[in-house]
Structure formats: C-alpha cells, structure tokens
C-alpha cells in the first residue's frame, strides 16, 4: 500500500509541476512576443464558427503555421489561411482565387461551408498563418470557457481546491503513520 501511495504521490506531483511550468512558459512567451503563444512556429487557434465544416469542426483547436513576410505572397488556391479581418478578428478560410495588385497578392477566400466568397479580398500583409491540417476536436469549447470570467474562476479555484485537498490527504496520512509508529514504539517499550 505504501509503495502505491508513494508512486501515486510522485505521479500527481510530477503532473502538477509540468502543468505549472507549461502554463508559466506559455504566459512568458505570450508576453515576450506581444501576441499569441507560439511553439516551434505554430500557434493554436480556437474555431468559433462552422464556416470551415466538415474539415474543421466548430469548437476545435487548430495548429496554424506562422508565415514570414516572403511566404505570404506565395500562397496558392486551395491553401487554408488565417488572416486578420479587423484588429481583433481572425478568420481561417480557404483561398479560392489569387490576384496580383501593386501592394502584393490579394487572396479571395471562402469558408468551405459558406455559400459565397468572403466580402473583401485579403491582402498578403494581413495573412497571419496557414493551416497545416492539425485539429483537436471539441477542445476549443473548453478554451473558450476558460477565457470567460466564469471559466477563469473555475480554472483558478478548482486546481486550488484540488491542491489543498491533496495536501490535506497527504498530511493526514503522514500524521496517521507517525501516530501508528509512536503507538508501536510505546507497545514495544511496555
């Protein structure tokens, strides 16, 4: 029983430490880059609409590859790109046509599930990333909830409660073990 408890204790402690270091690293990268966290040239984005279904489901998290300036003018029909529509709104749609202008490439885009093309062409300068086909379904719902005020509370308070509960159980077991050891020593003395 003791070895199982020790093993479980090490596993839970390792998981908590890895999560803490991972979250701290992502927060630091976000602050240093002044935007979305990026790992190995990829950003994770949450899909909030069904415009790209069935390939990309609503509520999915997708990995998009950040593009350098010279790559932004070399995209072709069929590529799926993430672009900046307004200051805060990012859209991931498929390129259906490419036109050239004095400012560089203009991409005509359309969501796979939409009836018509997007209203405005996308300047190459507004392209942020390209979708490489990596999707994790339904995780985006959790990510969106975590960004809400209720979600932030849940994801801050719940781990705190779990850590306090885990500490309480660990301390209780150690005290119980010490009491049993003390009782055994007293019984041996008598």
**Catalytic annotation, residues:** 49
Q: Are 116 and 110 in contact (CB under 8 A)?
A: yes
* C-alpha 166 chain-centroid distance: 26
């Amino acid at each position: 029983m003791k070895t199982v408890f020790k093993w479980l204790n090490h596993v839970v402690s390792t998981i908590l430490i890895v999560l803490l270091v991972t979250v701290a690293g992502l927060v630091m990268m976000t602050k240093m880059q002044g935007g979305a966290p990026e790992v190995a040239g990829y950003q994770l984005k949450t899909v909030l609409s069904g415009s790209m279904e069935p390939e990309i489901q609503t509520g999915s998290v997708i990995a998009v590859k950040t593009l350098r300036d010279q790559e932004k003018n070399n995209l072709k029909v069929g590529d799926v790109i993430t672009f900046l529509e307004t200051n805060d709104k990012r859209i991931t749609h498929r390129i259906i046509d490419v036109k050239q202008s004095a400012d560089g490439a203009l991409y005509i885009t359309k969501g796979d599930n939409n009836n018509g093309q997007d209203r405005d062409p996308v300047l190459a300068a507004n392209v942020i990333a390209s979708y490489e086909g990596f999707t994790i379904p339904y995780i985006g719902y959790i990510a969106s909830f975590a960004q809400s005020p209720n979600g932030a509370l849940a994801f801050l308070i719940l781990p705190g409660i779990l850590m306090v509960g885990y500490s309480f159980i660990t301390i209780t077991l150690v005290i119980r073990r010490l009491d049993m050891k003390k009782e055994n020593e007293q019984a041996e003395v008598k």
